[in-house]
Structure 1
Amino acid sequence: MSNDVKLHPDPFRLDRRHPTSVAFFDETGAIASDRFFVVGMLRIEDHSALLKEVKALRSRHKYREEFKFWSITEANKQAYKDLIDLLLNSEARFSCFVADRHVADPVARFGNTFAAYEKLTIQLAHGSIKPYELMTVIADNYSAPNERSFEQTVKTQCNRRLKRLGVVSVVQVDSGATEGLQLVDILVGAVGSEFRANAGLASHVAHKAEVAAHLRARLGTSTFNLGFVKNGFSVAIYEHEEWLRRAQKRLANSSRTVEPPNRAAEPDEPKPRKTRRGRRGGRRRRGGRPTGTA
């Protein structure tokens, strides 16, 4: 028996039906160099049941490779379309941020690429979790500086925002270790594909673009360009207009020079006459009694 159990023989207990979920987190694009960077989170309450359906889909299509958006070909694109249908028909919930670094650069806002990656993850986790829910975050591997802990930072800061224990654990694994990360990879890839194609950085007619168009058609929208929210599927355009306004104001204030007044050129000002005060704080008359009250 551990010392914790000995010290706390009657710990707080949650009902066995207390809401829990697993959230899979992934990104597409290089935040340090690409114009478009997308981070997404797929939140699943009963992930084991969903992953069993994914395995059945694999069996039907005889598809044994890792699901990756950039691996879509003529031969396998139907498997990817069916996988998107499976996800949209499930109870899974997806949310993502799309950052166009020519418009609003999270790296410029947060100071470096890793801090920007952390902040976007925290915002997604905070927005994805339900009231009272306990959530475990499984994130794709992302190299961190030696002095930083991505897992601990995301967990601590998200719980601080929630003002409770909401994110129980954050674990980074390779996408080949769990199909959950492969599923979110497909969705962030499909969302990012349209933005790149509209900017002339990708094709509108490639097999990947066809799968991305299938996703939009299933959701009943022709574009994600202005953001999208419907039926548990959310695309938010990353922006920081308020932060930019504050930054511009700080810059203007720092560049403004305020000259000290030229005291030598001003006429002498009369000095205030000193008055004696009594014990109760009022000014004394000549007779010695205060005129005011305490």
Structure 2
Amino acid sequence: MVQPPAHARACTLHKSHPTSVAFFDEAGAISSDRFFVVGLLRVEDHAALLKQVKAIRKKHKFYDEFKWGSITTSSLAASESLIELLLDSSANFSCFVADRHVADPVARFGNTFRAYEKLATQLLIGSVQPYELVTVIADNYSAPNNRSFESTVKIECNNRLDRLAVTSVIQVDSKATEGLQLVDMLVGAVAFGFKADCGLGNHRSLKGQLAQKLRAKLGVPNFDSGYKSSAFGVRLYEHDKWLRRQQMRLGSPS
């Protein structure tokens, strides 16, 4: 992303200053499931993308909520078209995949909510482009009374980037905005691929077919080693350095 032109008035952004909307969602239960995935879909031209989604709905006569957990034979064709659209669009998707048998973020960060906060914040920091201002819409996620996901993610991201990058973080129900439904489908497809590879899901099921369609479209058999392109990224959560520090601390004399 190129530097936007300066405004004639000091402390005023140019009218063409880059902005985007980012949508957060997760797949799996971080406290119990083996695989937990946090995903972010960043969209610069939100209105144009939603027009294309509406065209898919009209073509397939599908007007229910796009939801990975509710895929049926009647929604399969529309879901396949949606995934193709997202991969061919200018939207940018990235996610963290935590295999709790390999690296458990809850063990590192102390509790499920803090682990989710940390993964989401790191994902956002890596997704925001230079100069860009981002509005974040996240799926509802229960927080302790003394915590605020919205405030924490916004403050930690802006502090880390040392500028105003995230203008707002808002939690809403996925039925309220199609953007959350779009990221739900991508996060679900990535997570199900990992589950099916480990025998926790069926590759021949409807979800298995969609997960395979995603990987085939990207030209990879699986995401076991992660994946990175200009618009789609899968990162495996690791904490080897943290584990080594913990082992050194526990092994050192008091």
Q: TM-score, normalised by structure 2?
A: 0.95
User: For the residues of structure 2 that align with 1:47 and 1:173, how far apart are their CA atoms?
Assistant: 17
1:16 is paired with a residue whose SS is coil
Q: Which residue of the partner structure matches residue 234 of structure 2?
A: 235
Residue 175 of structure 2 aligns with an amino acid whose one-letter code is G
Which stretches in structure 2 are left out of the alignment for 5+ residues?
1-8
User: For the residues of structure 1 that align with 2:55 and 2:110, how far apart are their CA atoms?
Assistant: 45
User: For the residues of structure 2 that align with 1:251 and 1:73, how far apart are their CA atoms?
Assistant: 50
Larger RCO, structure (CA 8 Å, separation 6 or more): 2
Residue 116 of structure 2 aligns with an amino acid whose one-letter code is Y
How far does residue 11 in structure 1 lie from its aligned partner after superposition?
6.5
User: For the residues of structure 1 that align with 2:20 and 2:208, how far apart are their CA atoms?
Assistant: 31
Q: Which residue of the partner structure matches residue 251 of structure 2?
A: 252
- Residue by residue over 1:57-114, the C-alpha shift from the partner in whole angstroms, topping out at 9 and shown as x without a partner, is 1011110110011222222211111101111111100000000001000000000000
Q: Which residue of the partner structure matches residue 145 of structure 1?
A: 144
User: For the residues of structure 2 that align with 1:181 and 1:76, how far apart are their CA atoms?
Assistant: 17
Which stretches in structure 1 are left out of the alignment for 5+ residues?
1-9, 258-294
Instruction: List structure 1 runs of 4+ shifted beyond 4 angstroms.
Output: none
Q: Which residue of the partner structure matches residue 30 of structure 2?
A: 31
CA contact (8 A) 1:40 1:96 kept: yes
CA contact (8 A) 1:28 1:38 kept: yes
User: For the residues of structure 2 that align with 1:222 and 1:38, how far apart are their CA atoms?
Assistant: 19
- Residue by residue over 1:4-55, the C-alpha shift from the partner in whole angstroms, topping out at 9 and shown as x without a partner, is xxxxxx7610000000000000000000111100000000001111011101
How far does residue 231 in structure 1 lie from its aligned partner after superposition?
3.4
Percent identical residues:
63
Matches within 5 A, 1:200-279: 200-253=199-252, 256=253
RMSD, matched Cα: 1.0
Residue 249 of structure 2 aligns with an amino acid whose one-letter code is R
Q: Which residue of the partner structure matches residue 131 of structure 1?
A: 130
CA contact (8 A) 1:155 1:170 kept: yes
CA contact (8 A) 2:203 2:212 kept: no
Residue 230 of structure 2 aligns with an amino acid whose one-letter code is N
CA contact (8 A) 2:140 2:171 kept: yes
Deviates more, 1:182-191 or 1:68-77: 68-77
CA contact (8 A) 1:219 1:230 kept: no
CA contact (8 A) 1:226 1:237 kept: yes
Matched, 1:62 2:61: yes
1:64 is paired with a residue whose SS is coil
Q: Which residue of the partner structure matches residue 186 of structure 1?
A: 185
Residue 145 of structure 2 aligns with an amino acid whose one-letter code is N
User: For the residues of structure 1 that align with 2:26 and 2:198, how far apart are their CA atoms?
Assistant: 19
Q: TM-score, normalised by structure 1?
A: 0.82
2:202 is paired with a residue whose SS is coil
Q: Which residue of the partner structure matches residue 174 of structure 2?
A: 175
- Residue by residue over 1:156-181, the C-alpha shift from the partner in whole angstroms, topping out at 9 and shown as x without a partner, is 00000000000110000000000000
CA contact (8 A) 2:137 2:170 kept: yes
User: For the residues of structure 1 that align with 2:67 and 2:116, how far apart are their CA atoms?
Assistant: 21
How far does residue 123 in structure 1 lie from its aligned partner after superposition?
0.3
